[in-house]
């Protein structure tokens, strides 16, 4: 088992944990956090492929990871804003109870 | 000879490390450096508590501590013994694990910043390529520690204090980073060592410290204001305002854990002051390049500057009253943030204009004019009016 | 595979698994910060210093604090006793496990992951800055636009509109 493989396995494990969280948690904030975890797993892949890939001097993986981190930050801010707005509307963050689209 | 005095600690470390087998040398070297940093700055903490109580006492027309030892000098030791022997009370509803971890994380986070501070010539723990970024990344861990302390205590005062502290620290972290970016722009490096090396050159007797430029001076002042707020010092001590919310997020801490919070706070303040010295005040470089000053070792200058900044902190604490929450936020978002953004532009213009008095005139006015305009606007808004209390109607 | 990688991997997986499994939402976020810090340490271990530090600054310093704030603002006492997992939690676990199984099988059988270990590449801040300012300048500008839009959007969405309604 070489190094790239172990990093990829770790990142797929993180991705699955995040996916499981998204699918099973009821709290909307924790679902958002699960999505962040999945993005993080993708970032580990970017960095691992940059490190063990054929052309590390091009810095493609690092750049992708940096852009992905900033997109994730924006996504977290907007997502939590939406959750707050939804909470103000329906007084709950429980996704099983937030089941109507009508106001 | 002067070289030997300057490098005495580095040489001693090399000698000590040479005594152990080769395999253990990196580990031994790291442990020695970390131990030295912890001992030196913990001692500085003890001295500062004495200085602060004595100085504040003088400013308030009283003596300050004068019972233990000559001039009360042994007061820190008495305080340490007292806090060690006090009972450690944890509220019964508290979240025990988080309650215990919070002070540990705070002290660890505030100590980690010293890894990239050059205390003297060749005296830096690690010369990181992204040193300044590391410093601010570690500093952001302190917010988490503060939140853990406030939330785990299950006390309304703690929670209120933690919420105030986090809101304040997040708002002032932005100007803190933005104020230091001007230096990074000019130095072209994030490494603290090369930033200091750039400032340690002289024209005539004057050093090339960044504080001696219009944007550097403005950046230094803004950095220090933001640093005061980051370290929750007066006049920005709302998170722990004794008269409002008792002691904020460490209301429910006692004994040694309380002392740890105190230590973490002061260590954090020294670290940000050290960063200000590294970025703007030339780090360990001497303020004049007279030949009779060269025997003074480089670390002396660093600690002299650090003590001077600490004295300024104490002085401000003894002088200014505490701000109100809305004043605090308005100051951050309406004055300091626009000033730092304009300062970025000023630094860019300074870089591209030819050296001369015209450059000084243009950049100086770019700092002074917005400062006057913004402050007069803030003063204008401060006219007495009926305040609306949104949440107490 | 080294000892340091194993430690970091266990730390990261434990932190994230706790973040998705614990009952108290604040505990979840605190465990999550441990996971994020573990990921940052993995980046440092891989030689991506700048990305690792940016990860700590953004995730531990900002996203975790933001999540904690959101949890405090949406906390309601009656939710303390309600179940934390959705009613179809077993299906969610099965799907996640299936995804992991497929990914792991693909990784283990792939020829691309059978590379020998190349020497450590260096990504200094200088190189990253050069790349951002030359080759990736358009994505950088778009990122600035996106972050500004997200800033304004988040404020507008989360703003309390009580004053307007009055």
Q: In total, how many domains does chain A have?
A: 1
Q: C130: which 2 tokens?
A: 């050069």
**Domain identity same for C68 and C9:** yes
Q: Establish if A97 belongs to a structural domain.
A: no
For chain C, positions 1-60, list CB contacts with chain A under 8 A.
1, 5, 9, 12-13, 16-17, 19-20, 25, 28-29, 32, 35-36, 39, 42-43, 46-48, 50-51, 54-55, 58-59
C53:B144 CB<8 A? no
Say how many Å lie between the first and final Cα of chain A, rounded.
Answer: 54
Measure the CA dihedral B241/B243/B245/B249, to 10°.
40
| B370-383: average pLDDT | 78
**Domain identity same for C134 and C67:** no
Average pLDDT, chain B: 83
Q: Is residue A95 within 8 Å of residue C86, measured between CB atoms? A: yes
Cα–Cα distance, C103 to C97 (Å, whole number)? 10
Nearest CA in chain C to A9: C104
B365 pLDDT more than 60: yes
**Torsion sign across C-alpha atoms A30, A36, A42, A45:** negative
Could you tell me which of B93, B33, B26, B343 has the C-alpha nearest to residue B213? Answer: B343
Cα–Cα distance, C57 to B167 (Å, whole number)? 16
- Domain span at residue A27 reads 3-90
Cα–Cα distance, B229 to B313 (Å, whole number)? 11
| SS3 at position B271 | helix
Distance from the B141 Cα atom to the nearest Cα atom in chain C, whole angstroms: 6
A78:C150 CB<8 A? yes
Could you tell me which of C41, C24, C149 has the C-alpha nearest to residue B98? Answer: C24
| C131-139: average pLDDT | 88
**Which domain-ending residue is among C75, C110, C132?**
C75
CATH code for the domain of C33: 1.20.120.1200
C82/A contact by beta carbon, under 8 A: yes
Lowest-pLDDT choice from B112-116, B307-311, B352-356, C54-58:
B352-356
Q: Establish if C41 belongs to a structural domain.
A: yes
| ipTM associated with this complex | 0.85
pLDDT tens per residue, range B252-287:
788 788 888 888 888 988 999 999 999 888 888 888
Q: In total, how many domains does chain C have?
A: 2
A6:C1 CB<8 A? yes
**Torsion sign across C-alpha atoms A44, A45, A51, A55:** negative
Distance from the B81 Cα atom to the nearest Cα atom in chain C, whole angstroms: 33
Distance from the B57 Cα atom to the nearest Cα atom in chain C, whole angstroms: 37
- Domain span at residue C63 reads 1-75
Cα–Cα distance, B180 to B321 (Å, whole number)? 27
Residues 6+ apart with CB under 8 A from B155: B91, B251, B252
Q: How would residue C145 be classed by pLDDT, with cut points 50, 70 and 90?
A: very high
In chain B, what residues touch C33 (CB-CB under 8 Å)? 144
> A53 or C80: which carries more pLDDT confidence?
A53
pLDDT tens per residue, range C149-166:
988 888 888 776 665 544
A62 pLDDT more than 80: yes
Cα–Cα distance, B35 to B71 (Å, whole number)? 29
Percent of chain B with pLDDT over 70: 95
* C119 exposure class (CB count in 10 Å sphere: 0-12, 13-18, 19+): exposed
pLDDT tens per residue, range B208-246:
888 888 888 888 999 999 998 888 887 887 777 666 667
**Domain identity same for C2 and C65:** yes
Cross-strand bridge partners of residue B120: B123
Angle A45-A47-A53 from CA coordinates, rounded to 5° = 90
CATH code for the domain of A12: 1.10.287.3510
Q: Establish if C44 belongs to a structural domain.
A: yes
Distance from the B133 Cα atom to the nearest Cα atom in chain C, whole angstroms: 7
Distance from the A16 Cα atom to the nearest Cα atom in chain C, whole angstroms: 5
Q: Establish if C12 belongs to a structural domain.
A: yes
Helix axes B357-381, B214-230, angle to 10 degrees: 40
Q: How would residue B388 be classed by pLDDT, with cut points 50, 70 and 90?
A: low
The predicted pLDDT at position B393 comes to 47
Cα–Cα distance, B248 to B47 (Å, whole number)? 25
C126/A contact by beta carbon, under 8 A: no
Lowest-pLDDT choice from A84-98, B360-374, C33-47, C76-90:
C76-90
**Domain identity same for C7 and C71:** yes
Could you tell me which of B231, B235, B197 has the C-alpha nearest to residue B317? Answer: B235
Cα–Cα distance, B308 to B277 (Å, whole number)? 10
A and B touching (3 or more beta-carbon pairs closer than 8 Å) = no
In chain C, what residues touch B170 (CB-CB under 8 Å)? 62, 65
Other chains touching B, judged by 3 or more CB pairs under 8 Å:
C
């Amino acid at each position: 088992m070489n190094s790239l493989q172990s990093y990829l396995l770790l990142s797929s494990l993180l991705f699955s944990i995040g996916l499981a969280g998204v699918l099973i948690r009821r709290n909307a904030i924790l679902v958002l956090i699960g999505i962040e975890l999945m993005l993080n797993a993708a970032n580990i892949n970017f960095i691992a492929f940059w490190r063990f890939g054929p052309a590390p001097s091009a810095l493609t993986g690092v750049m992708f990871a940096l852009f992905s981190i900033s997109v994730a930050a924006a996504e977290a801010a907007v997502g939590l804003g939406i959750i707050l707005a939804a909470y103000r509307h329906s007084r709950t963050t429980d996704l099983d109870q937030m089941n109507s689209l009508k106001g | 000879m002067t070289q030997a005095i300057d490098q005495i600690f580095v040489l001693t470390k090399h000698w000590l490390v040479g005594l152990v087998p080769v395999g253990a040398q990196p580990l031994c070297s790291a442990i020695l450096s970390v131990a030295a940093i912890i001992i030196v700055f913990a001692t500085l903490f003890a001295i500062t508590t004495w200085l602060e109580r004595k100085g504040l006492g003088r400013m308030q027309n009283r003596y300050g501590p004068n019972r233990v030892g000559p001039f009360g000098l042994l007061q820190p030791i008495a305080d340490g013994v007292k806090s060690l022997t006090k009972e450690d009370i944890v509220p019964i509803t508290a979240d025990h694990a988080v309650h215990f971890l919070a002070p540990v994380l705070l002290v660890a986070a505030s100590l980690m910043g010293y890894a990239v501070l050059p205390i003297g010539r060749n005296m830096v723990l690690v010369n990181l390529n992204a040193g300044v970024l590391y410093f601010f990344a570690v500093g952001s861990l302190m917010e988490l520690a503060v939140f853990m302390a406030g939330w785990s205590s299950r006390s309304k005062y703690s929670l209120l204090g933690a919420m105030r502290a986090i809101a304040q620290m997040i708002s002032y972290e932005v100007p803190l980073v933005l104020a230091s970016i001007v230096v990074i722009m000019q130095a072209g490096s994030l490494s603290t060592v090369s930033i200091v090396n750039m400032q340690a050159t002289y024209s005539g007797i004057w050093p090339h410290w960044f504080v001696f430029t219009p944007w550097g001076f403005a950046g230094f002042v803004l950095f220090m204001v933001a640093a005061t707020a980051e370290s929750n010092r007066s006049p920005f001590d709302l998170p722990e305002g004794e008269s409002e919310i008792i002691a904020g997020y460490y209301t429910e801490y006692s004994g040694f854990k309380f002392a740890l919070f105190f230590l973490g706070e002061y260590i954090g303040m020294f670290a940000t002051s050290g960063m200000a010295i590294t970025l703007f005040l030339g780090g360990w470089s001497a303020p004049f390049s007279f030949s009779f000053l060269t025997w003074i070792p480089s670390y002396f200058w660093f600690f002299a500057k650090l003590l001077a900044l600490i004295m300024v902190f104490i002085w401000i604490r003894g002088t200014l009253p505490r701000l109100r929450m809305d004043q605090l936020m308005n100051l951050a978002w309406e004055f300091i943030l626009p000033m730092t953004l304009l300062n970025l532009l000023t630094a860019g213009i300074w870089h591209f204009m030819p050296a001369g008095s015209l450059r000084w005139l243009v950049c100086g006015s770019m700092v002074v004019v917005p400062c006057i305009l913004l402050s007069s606007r803030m003063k204008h808004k401060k006219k007495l009016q009926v305040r609306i209390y949104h949440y107490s109607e | 595979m080294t000892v340091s990688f194993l430690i970091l991997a266990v730390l990261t997986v434990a932190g994230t698994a706790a973040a998705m499994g614990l009952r108290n939402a604040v505990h979840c976020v605190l465990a999550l910060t441990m996971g994020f810090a573990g990921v940052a340490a993995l980046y440092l271990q891989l030689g991506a210093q700048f990305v690792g530090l940016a990860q700590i600054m953004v995730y531990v310093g900002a996203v975790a604090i933001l999540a904690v704030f959101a949890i405090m603002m949406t906390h309601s006492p009656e939710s303390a006793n309600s179940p934390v997992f959705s009613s179809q939690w077993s299906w969610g676990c099965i799907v996640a496990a299936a995804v992991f199984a497929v990914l792991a099988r693909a990784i283990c059988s792939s020829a691309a992951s059978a590379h020998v270990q190349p020497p450590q590449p260096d990504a200094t801040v200088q190189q990253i800055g050069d790349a951002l300012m030359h080759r990736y300048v358009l994505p950088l500008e778009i990122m600035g636009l996106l972050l500004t839009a997200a800033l304004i959007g988040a404020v507008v969405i989360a703003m309390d509109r009580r004053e307007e309604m009055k």
